[in-house]
Amino acid sequence: MLNFDWLAGISLENAKIIFLVLFVLIGVLILFIPNDYIFQGLEKNKRRWWNNLKFWAIGVLGLLFFTYYIF
């Protein structure tokens, strides 16, 4: 039980899918964050698309997804 023996039957391919699904899930949750919350702290007239932290986060998650997909 403490050693997660009950998960030993899951193949490595399925384990990889679990990791990849986790990254997609995090990405989807980030997309649901309201833009107003993302830009909080920046003046309204200084908010540009490249200040949208959702894009930054999705970019990093994309790299992470790609890395785990390859390896």
Partner 1 sequence: MLSGIDYFVVIAYITGIMLLGFYFRRFIASSEDYFLGGRSLPFWAIGMSIVVSDIGAMDFVGVSGQAYRYGISVGNFDWIGSVPAMLLAAFIFIPYFWRGGMYTIPEYLGRRYNQKVRTIASLTWIIFFAVDLGVLFWASAVLLNVLMGWPVWLSILITAIVVGLYTYFGGITAVVMTDVVQLVIMFVGGLTLTFLGFHAVGGFDGLVDKIGAMGPEYRDHFDLIQPADTKTPFPWTGILFGLTFVMANAYMIGNQTIVQRCLTAKNEWHAKASMIFASGLKMLVPILVLFPGLMAIILHPGLEDGDQALPMMIKSILPPGLIGLMFSAFFAGLMSSVDSLLNSTATLFTKDIYEPYIKKDATDKHYLKVGKMTTLVLLLVGVATSPISGKFPGIYVAIQTFLSYFQGPLFAILLLGMFWKRGTQWGGLSGLLIGIGFATVLNTFKGAFFTIEDPFLYVSWWSFVAGFFITIVVSLFTSPHPDKRLVGLVYRSTPRKDKSK
Distances (CA, A) of 31 to 12, 20, 54, 61: 29, 17, 7, 12
Q: Does 2 bind partner 1 (CB under 8 A)?
A: yes
Q: Report the alpha-carbon distance of residue 24 to residue 27 in Å, rounded.
A: 5
- Shortest Cβ 68–partner 1 spacing (Å): 6
- Out of 18, 21, 28, 31, the only residue in the binding site for partner 1 (CB under 8 A) is 18
Whether the Cβ atoms of residue 20 and residue 68 lie closer than 8 Å to each other:
yes
- Shortest Cβ 63–partner 1 spacing (Å): 5
Q: Does 59 bind partner 1 (CB under 8 A)?
A: yes
Q: Does 21 bind partner 1 (CB under 8 A)?
A: no
